């Protein structure tokens, strides 16, 4: 029988194996402390955060690791050296359960994602589009 999707982050974490729960709570705390204005909820069946209506970060627990889904891989170039030793996938970082939660790194990623979203919000829709001179008609 298929499990129903969790309705809250608390419900999601409570449903995880005991060994994973404290790690996920630390990830959650790091994100909430760094970007308190982000909206917490469930998306894609896992805990996630949106900022200004845009996906910021998701996290999930698995049998041998927990992952941070950054909804964008653009920050990899900025902090590539800090990610050495972790398994990386497209916009995702896998953290082993047998190591301490890298709270500083998770906070840094949350800040980078928040800053990236804020930068896109500041752009106006017309920005980046070249306007034709008034004398030119299409």
pLDDT in tens, the chain (138 residues): 456 788 999 999 999 999 899 999 999 999 999 999 999 999 989 999 999 999 999 999 998 899 999 867 677 777 878 888 888 888 789 999 999 999 999 999 999 999 988 888 876 455 444 444 444 444
Domains and CATH numbers, the chain: 9-117 (3.90.1150.200)
pLDDT value of position 101: 95
Distance, CA of 49 to CA of 71 (rounded, Å): 10
* pTM (two decimals): 0.82
Single out the residue of 106, 117, 116, 107 nearest to residue 51, CA to CA: 117
Single out the residue of 64, 63, 57 nearest to residue 27, CA to CA: 57
Dihedral sign (CA 41, 69, 38, 26)? positive
């Amino acid at each position: 029988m298929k499990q129903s999707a969790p309705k809250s982050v608390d419900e999601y974490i409570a449903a995880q194996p005991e060994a994973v729960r404290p790690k996920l709570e630390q990830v959650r705390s790091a994100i909430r402390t760094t970007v308190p204005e982000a909206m917490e909820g469930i998306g894609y069946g896992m805990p996630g955060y949106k900022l200004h209506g845009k996906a910021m970060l998701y996290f999930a627990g698995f049998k041998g690791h927990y992952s941070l889904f950054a909804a964008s891989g653009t920050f990899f170039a900025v902090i590539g050296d800090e990610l050495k030793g972790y398994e990386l996938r497209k916009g995702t970082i896998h953290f082993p359960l047998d190591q301490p939660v890298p709270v500083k790194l998770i906070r840094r990623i949350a800040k980078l994602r928040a800053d990236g979203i804020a930068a896109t919000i500041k752009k106006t829709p017309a920005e980046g589009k070249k306007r034709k001179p008034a004398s030119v008609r299409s």
